[in-house]
Chain A
C-alpha cells in the first residue's frame, strides 16, 4: 500500500544548528511533495512545495530537497530557533495521505 513515512522520534537540536527532517514514500510516485508546520492544537500551515523535477527549493531559512531515486524528501531549517519548535508534516499532491509528522524541539 502507499505510504508516507516520517521519523516518529522527536528531533532535539541546539539553537543555531541545522535541523534535518526526513520524508520517505513507498509504493508511490508523487508529482510533488508539500511540507507543513503544525503547532499543538492548531491546523497545519503550508511551508513549501517541491516538484519531482526540482532538486531543491528554498524559502528564507528553509530548504527542501526531492530525490526520486531514493524516494525521499529532506526538509532543512538552518540557524534554528526555539520558535521553530513544532511538528512538521509532509504529504503528496493528492492530499489523500500524510506522514505522521516529526516533532522538532529547538533548545536555547
Chain B
C-alpha cells in the first residue's frame, strides 16, 4: 500500500449525526491534505496542512472541520452534513519544502461517505 491509511473505509450517517474521518501517514511527510471526490468530477481540494499548520482552506463549509494534531495524523470532523456531501473523501501526504527531492502525493484508499 501507499503508507497512508484512512478509517473508516465506509461511513453512512444521518444529517444530524457527528462523525470523524481519520488519516495517518507513516512516510515522514510534512504536508497532509483532504480532498473530496464526487462522481465524474475532479478532485476538489478541501484543506492543506503543512507542519501541522493549516495553509489552505478552499472555501469549505463549516460543517467540515479539520484537525491536525501532529504531522502524521489528520482528522476531518463532520456534523450536520447534507446529502450532496456524499462522496469519496481522500487524504494525501507529501514532502514539501526546499529540501524535498520530489513532491508527489501519496493518497490513502479513501472513505466512502453516504449522507442519508
Question: B42: which A residues are within 8 A, CB to CB?
Answer: 4, 97-101
Closest A residue to B43 by beta carbon equals A98
How many A-B pairs have beta carbons closer than 8 Å: the answer is 54
Complex contact A49–B41 (CB within 8 A): no
Question: A91: which B residues are within 8 A, CB to CB?
Answer: 43
0/1 interface trace, chain A 35-64, chain B, CB 8 Å (1 if under) = 010000111111001000000000000000
Please report the C-alpha to C-alpha distance between residue A4 and residue B43 in the assembled complex, in whole angstroms. Answer: 11
> Which of A41, A45, A97, A101 has a CB less than 8 Å from the CB of B110?
A41
Complex contact A46–B104 (CB within 8 A): yes
> Which of A41, A49, A97, A98 has a CB less than 8 Å from the CB of B112?
A41
The interface size bin for chain B is 20 to 34
- Size of interface on A: residues with Cβ below 8 Å to B: 22
0/1 interface trace, chain A 56-99, chain B, CB 8 Å (1 if under) = 00000000000000000000000000000000010101011111
Question: A44: which B residues are within 8 A, CB to CB?
Answer: 43, 90, 105, 107
- Judged by a CB distance under 8 angstroms, whether A34 is at the interface is yes
Q: Add 10 more A-B contacts to A45-B107, A96-B58 (CB < 8 A).
A: A41-B110, A43-B92, A43-B107, A44-B43, A45-B2, A46-B104, A46-B105, A97-B42, A100-B41, A101-B42
14 chain-A/chain-B pairs, Cβ below 8 angstroms: A8-B40, A32-B103, A34-B104, A36-B107, A41-B110, A41-B112, A43-B4, A46-B104, A46-B106, A49-B102, A49-B104, A93-B103, A100-B41, A100-B42
